[in-house]
Amino acid sequence: MWNPVRRNRNIGTSNQGFGSNNKLDISYPLLGSKGFRDFYERLGPYEKIEKIINGHSFIFVIEAPRKSCTHACSVQDVERIIENIPSSHYGSLKLIIFRQPKRKEEIISSVWGRLIYSYTFEDDYFPAIILEAVDCDKKIYFKKSQAPEDEKEFKRLISDGHQFVENKRNFISHLDPGSVRNTQLYRTLPHEFGHYVQYQKIVGDLKDEEDLEDWEKRNETYLQIPKSDKENYAHRYANDLIEKLKKVKVIPFDRI
């Protein structure tokens, strides 16, 4: 018997609608004119500023944000926090990237920031901390039924100043640049430093070719650490640093 609903045999299957080549996904690494680049290494127009902090050379890379987006922290904001981190924790870290994520990345891989152990930039590569621009027209959603880690992050965001409104299923907050600045400057930046400090302690730098085999073993040891343990280490590092800076009244401070 003819059923008009079943005219297309793909209706009701995984093939319904868009073809498999149109799935919402991030393609990486991508081969371009400058070789392979992961999605976070493919920058648009940017400004580059070199800073010497506690005798250590940093390069700040500021990618131009979209019209509705903003970089919540300034270069001077980040510089002040880094000034109060022990220089022995800098290691080979050189790049601080203020990045504009693509719209697809905001949907699939939305983060406040990230640590990249080897970031390719201008034909060289260094460890990098990335802080992502935010779209102030967007909102944050948290389900009422939360896993333990989600609940912890929800409480952290409230302490950062994010104002959530409750509806039947979710807690919703509009992205406010001031609250985002609190999150990225006082939590994300120290958190990523915490990841890098743990990495330095276990892996360290590759000194020469003779050290390659031992370095690979150390790196494998680090990769085998459970993600939850890495996150706990970075949270402790960030909490200890921020509490110390609060006691000496370095933070909070207004945007510079």
pLDDT of amino acid 212? 83
Is residue 240 included in any domain, yes or no? Answer: yes
Phi, psi angle pair for 216, to nearest 5°: -65, -35
Are residue 149 and residue 229 in the same domain, yes or no?
Answer: no
- pLDDT higher at 2 or 140: 140
Provide CB contacts within 8 A for 207, sequence distance 6+: none
233-245 core/surface letters (b: 16 or more CB in 10 A; e: else): bbbebbeebbeeb
Same domain, 165 and 193: no
Do 35 and 68 belong together in one domain?
yes
Same structural domain, 109 and 55: yes
- pLDDT tens for each residue of 233-247: 999 999 999 999 999
Q: Say if 17 falls within a structural domain.
A: no
CA angle 166, 167, 169 (to 5 degrees): 110
Is the domain of 148 the same as that of 223? no
Cα-based angle 148, 153, 156 (whole degrees, multiple of 5): 130
Domain identity same for 100 and 143: no
Q: Which of 174, 195, 224 is the last residue of a domain?
A: 174
Same domain, 45 and 164: no
Q: Look at residue 255 and tell me if it is in a domain.
A: no
Give residue 97's Cα distance to chain centre: 10
Do the beta carbons of residue 245 and residue 84 sit within 8 Å?
yes
Same domain for 160 and 233? no
pLDDT category of residue 248 using cuts at 50, 70 and 90:
very high
Last-in-domain residue among 174, 195, 220: 174
pLDDT tens, position by position, 45-73 = 999 999 999 999 999 999 999 888 999 99
- Considering its fold, how many domains does the chain have in total? 2
Query: Same domain for 109 and 198?
Result: yes
pLDDT band at 168 (very low <50, low <70, confident <90, very high): confident
Residues 155 and 50 in one domain: no
Please check whether residue 116 lies inside any domain of the structure: yes
Domain carrying residue 149: 139-174
- Say yes or no: 72 and 169 in one domain: no
Shared domain for 132 and 65, answered yes or no, is yes
Give residues with Cβ within 8 angstroms of 53, minimum separation 6. Answer: 79, 82, 83, 87
Answer whether residue 184 is part of any domain: yes
